[in-house]
Structure 1
Amino acid sequence: MANGTGAGEPRPADDGVRDRGEGVRVPGEGAAPPASDGEAAGVRSFWTRLGLPGLVDVHTHFMPERVMRKVWAYFDAAGPLTGLEWPITYRHEEDERVALLRAFGVRTFTSMVYPHKPGMAEWLNAWARDFAGRVPDCARTATLFPEDGVARYVRKALEGGTRVFKAHVQVGDYAPDDPLLDAAWGDIADAGVPVVVHCGSGPAPGRYTGPGPVGRLLARHPGLRLVVAHMGMPEYGEFLDLAERYAEVHLDTTVAFTDFSEALAPFPEKERGRLADLGDRIVLGTDFPNIPYPYLHQLDALERLELGEDWLRAVCHDNGARLLGPSR
């Protein structure tokens, strides 16, 4: 979805490899959030009444400014792919977006970056490292691509303190079990670092989307801590099967259960009980800022599943905190 839209997913700008983010303002604690006090109050009310210290959002996007602008331009023209308009609700400057998450009470978030060709991943990792260095509530994020040197730069990212990886097999147009990635996956699994992976086929399939390729990867690396983005939309049941089979497989809620996704690929009512059974391995993700509705709607969509407050507490904070580590 907003971080992966099937065959039409926005690919980072070809000239992004040359972009170094010059001119981007450094986020500060005092930046004024571009949202009404009522919006922030609504989000904070949600987690306050659950008795939580805030939210942990494992699936948010911060990336080099030129790349982000290209992503937004794609979504402005996404109607023919999805059949629905996709306005960007939080089309703000970087420092304003950071301030807004803080106003919402998001204690830890991520900078999901992803390459679409060789030679991009290491540069994106350097940008994400620097971003996390100046934005301490962002868990240091990295990515990878099947290419020469991937094991080296993945190991470097792990040794440097990366807390989460992002893999996008549709945008990258690669098989997750590509032999070039084998050593990198092994190191990530050994380190116990989670990988948020867009591998579902919604709303349009790619050559390597679906549960089959990911299932082959897990058969080789059963301890890999994969977080299936968007609940595996639309192959919800098949990805729930993988989570039941492999103890380290998680699923994130990004865009799932909202009015927007229910119009595209509704979550099957018959699978709702499995959400409760896997309540310790479902984590909050939102796709902020690239969402076509207010942030609070994702939280409301989870609450209307009627799976109870303990489930909400686990999903919206505890599970993500366990995966990403303590807030800084």
Structure 2
Amino acid sequence: MTEADVAPVRAFWERLGLPGLVDVHVHFLPPPIQRAVWAVFDAAGPSLGREWPIRYRASHEDRVALLRAMGVRRFPTLPYAHKPGVAAYLNDWARDFSADVPESLWSATFYPEPEAAAYVADLVAGGVEVFKVHLQVGEFLADDPLLDPVWGVLEDAGTPVVLHAGSGPVGNDFTGPASVQRLLARFPRLTLVIAHLGAPEYAEFLALAETHERVHLDTTMVFTDFFEADGPYPRELLPRLRDLQERILLGSDFPTIPYPYAHQLESLARLDLGDDWLRAVCWENGARLLGAPGA
């Protein structure tokens, strides 16, 4: 942890008069899984398509300390299952992590498998606060029939699901808006947080948020120089993004980002959508959806 990482982040939210930040897209994973994920990034494999140096490769303890120092006062761990039989292990680990780190949300995941309906219902009954699902990595569609009872439970409970459904950074047969459109046609009251603003299918996922009052979008990596180099966010969509102010959430993808954390914040500020928009995105919306820190 260095002052160069901490100072600009604190200056950002202090200038806005905020008590800190709520970041809806942070990852903490069991060490063996984290090492495997970082190995994929180090290899710049086909699921990434480019070099991706990891800025915050450190122990869990050091990363928690850095988030605290920067003033990130609420964050999830967002485990995601990549094959059958893994979700229970990830969920047990994430539950223990949240018990030890009060700022972290009790996070969980699920996979299209026969057991999913039972373990998701148990997690919801126990008070889990957020789920993460990654269609690209898991290689399944959002409307996989095995998930029908899961989505029914989550629609009734209102538990947020951070959903990586966009085709970025590299799409496959399971990414894109189509399966999410079909899912919302059947379960229109789902509380979804579309990761990365749905990149690169920005317009399609923006339209889903405009027509479903519980669909949110997170800013993870969007507008940064790293993302803009691959495909800039269409500037003609910015007025619609401003109009959706109450359902845009700060996300970062910490720790596996190739630039300082502050760059995500600077990238949002340079959109020139106004301080009220920044306050809503970086604190108010996340605190409302996920629970205000300290509440």
Which TM-score bucket, shorter chain as reference? over 0.9
Match among 255, 261, 278 for residue 312 of structure 1: 278
2:103 aligned partner, one-letter code:
D
Counterparts of 1:164-175 in structure 2, within 5 Å, are: 164-175=130-141
Map of 2:236 onto structure 1: 270
Q: Which residue of 2 aligns with 1:110?
A: 76
Match of 1:206 among 155, 172, 181: 172
Residue of structure 1 aligned with 2:158, choices 188, 192, 196: 192
> Given the two structures, how large is their TM-score scaled by the length of structure 1?
0.88
Given that 1:79 and 1:86 are in contact with CA atoms closer than 8 Å, whether structure 2 keeps it comes out as no
Q: Kindly state the Cα deviation for residue 80 of structure 1 after the two structures are TM-superposed.
A: 6.4
Distance in 2 (CA, whole Å) between partners of 1:54 and 1:244 is 28
Give 1:241's match in structure 2, choosing from 196, 207, 223: 207
How far did 1:84 drift?
A: 3.8
Partner Cα distance (2:142, 2:187) in 1: 11
- For the 8 Å contact 1:82–1:264, the answer to whether it is kept is no
Match of 1:130 in 2: 96
2:122 paired with 1:152: no
Shift of 1:171: 0.9
CA shift at 1:326, angstroms? 2.3
Contact 2:136–2:175 (8 Å) recurs in 1: yes
Q: Which of the residues 212, 224, 237 maps onto 1:258?
A: 224
> Corresponding residue for 1:281?
247
Question: Partners in 2 of 1:139 and 1:288 — Cα distance?
Answer: 15
The answer for the alignment partner of 1:22 in structure 2 is none
Match of 1:181 in 2: 147
- How far apart, in 2, do the equivalents of 1:300 and 1:315 lie? 13
CA contact (8 A) 2:41 2:48 kept: no
* 1:179, distance to aligned residue in structure 2 (A): 1.3
Output one character per residue of 1:142-171: Cα deviation in whole Å (capped at 9) or x when no partner: 101110111110011111211110011111
SS of 1:139's equivalent in the other structure is coil
C-alpha distance in structure 2 between counterparts of 1:120 and 1:80, whole Å: 22
Partner of 1:4: none
1:92 maps to a residue whose letter is: A
Offset, 1:315: 0.3
Q: CA contact under 8 A between 2:49 and 2:169: conserved in structure 1?
A: no
Q: Distance in 2 between matches of 1:80 and 1:327?
A: 38
SS of aligned partner of 2:143: coil
Q: Normalized against structure 2, the TM-score is what?
A: 0.97
Aligned to 1:120: 86
Moved more, 169-178 or 276-285: 169-178
Gaps of 5+ in 1: 1-34
Which SS does the other structure have where 2:58 is aligned?
A: coil
SS at match of 2:246: coil
Are the equivalent residues in 2 in contact too, given 1:258–1:298 (CA < 8 A)?
A: yes
Mark the runs of 5 or more structure 2 residues left unpaired by the alignment: none
Would the aligned equivalents of 2:151 and 2:190 in 1 still touch at CA under 8 Å? yes
Query: Residues 90 and 109 of structure 2 are in contact (CA less than 8 Å); yes or no, is this contact kept in structure 1?
Result: yes
Report the aligned-residue RMSD: 1.1
* Equivalence for 2:11: 45
Distance 1:182 1:79 in 2: 32
Q: CA deviation at 1:295?
A: 0.1
The Cα shift of 1:284 comes to 0.3
AA aligned to 1:296 is A
Structure 1 counterpart of 2:240, one-letter code: R
Q: Residue 141 of structure 1 corresponds to which residue in structure 2?
A: 107
Partner of 1:57: 23
Counterpart CA distance in 1 for 2:173 and 2:194 is: 17
The farther-off stretch of 73-82 and 169-178 is 73-82
The one-letter code sitting in structure 1 at the alignment partner of 2:235 is E
Q: Using the alignment, how far apart are the partners of 1:312 and 1:262 within structure 2? A: 20
Say if 2:125 is the partner of 1:162.
no
What's the CA shift for 1:39? 2.2
Deviation at 1:82, TM superposition (A): 4.9
Percent identity, aligned pairs only, is 59
TM-superposition CA deviations, 1:229-270 (whole Å, max 9, x none) = 000000000100111111111000000000000011210011
User: Partners in 2 of 1:221 and 1:79 — Cα distance?
Assistant: 35
Higher deviation after alignment, 174-183 or 226-235 = 174-183
